[in-house]
Amino acid sequence: MLDFIMEDEFTLIMIKPDAVKRGHTGAILKRIEEEGFRIRGMKYVSLTKAQAEMFYIVHKERPFFGELTQFMASGFIVAAVLERTNAVAHWRKVIGATDPAEAEDGTIRKLFAASKGENAVHGSDSRENAKLETSFFFNALELV
Ligand code: IDP
Ligand code: MG
């Protein structure tokens, strides 16, 4: 299942609780369209702490794991599968560095993120993780 998500054409993104709470969802979705992404699946959800821990399991030994998973469970998020040429790398470029203080002008994190932890958006960092993260949120029926 989800084997069609094999090429560099797909990535999994989230609009994180801070950006949803501050009313930046529309602006970020507009940017997604302006950057030439096609939305292949999208949902508005809230994660429990346990679900956030599952999503970010690769970071479980990091000092910020508790803070991160608490934050990700603190409000609604938008999760979406985006399609575009070179999707993973392009989205990482559009969102900017993890810490908004280090993000380039015009990037989503520079525009909308408050801090390194509460940094507005997520983007898969590889094709393999895009696939794993997509299967965390979506089944085949939920992707167009
Ligand atoms: P990324 O989201 O840019 O790929 P990662 O290093 O994969 O960054 O970290 C995952 C998420 O963990 C970040 O987006 C951010 O929300 C949070 N995070 C990373 N480093 C820190 C930190 O030093 N303090 C608090 N939260 C952090
Ligand atoms: Mg990452």
Q: How much distance in Å is there from the Cα of 116 to the middle of ligand 1?
A: 6
Q: How far is the CA of 67 from the CAs of 9, 17, 74, 143, in angstroms?
A: 32, 13, 11, 31
**H/E element holding 45?**
strand 38-46
Does the residue 40 lie in any domain? Answer: yes
Does the residue 9 lie in any domain? Answer: yes
Query: Ligand 1 within 6 A of 11 CB?
Result: no
Q: How much distance in Å is there from the Cα of 118 to the middle of ligand 1?
A: 8
Token representation of residue 51: 């679900």
Does the residue 68 lie in any domain? Answer: no
Cβ-Cβ contacts under 8 Å for 26 (sequence gap 6 or more) = none
- Residue 80 sits in a domain whose CATH number is 3.30.70.141
Domain housing 111: 2-47+76-142
- Name the domain count of the chain: 1
How does pLDDT run along the chain (144 residues), one tens digit per residue?
Answer: 555 555 569 999 999 999 999 999 999 999 999 999 999 999 999 999 999 999 999 999 999 999 999 999 999 999 999 999 999 999 999 999 999 999 999 999 999 999 999 999 999 999 999 999 999 999 999 999
Does the residue 127 lie in any domain? Answer: yes
Cβ-Cβ contacts under 8 Å for 86 (sequence gap 6 or more) = 8
Q: How far is the CA of 109 from the CAs of 34, 48, 125, in angstroms?
A: 16, 24, 16
Q: How much distance in Å is there from the Cα of 141 to the middle of ligand 1?
A: 31
Does the residue 67 lie in any domain? Answer: no
Query: Ligand 1 within 6 A of 44 CB?
Result: no
Query: Ligand 1 within 6 A of 78 CB?
Result: no
What pLDDT was estimated at residue 2?
59
The protein residue whose alpha carbon is closest to atom 19 in ligand 1 is: 117
Q: How far is the CA of 128 from the CAs of 6, 11, 96, 117, in angstroms?
A: 8, 10, 20, 24
Token representation of residue 13: 């993104």
Does the residue 54 lie in any domain? Answer: no
Does the residue 134 lie in any domain? Answer: yes
The protein residue whose alpha carbon is closest to atom 18 in ligand 1 is: 117
Does the residue 113 lie in any domain? Answer: yes
Residues labelled as active-site residues? 122
Q: Can you give the pTM of this predicted structure?
A: 0.95
Tell me which of 119, 121, 129 to substitute to probe ligand 1's pocket, judged by most ligand atoms within 8 Å of the beta carbon.
Answer: 119
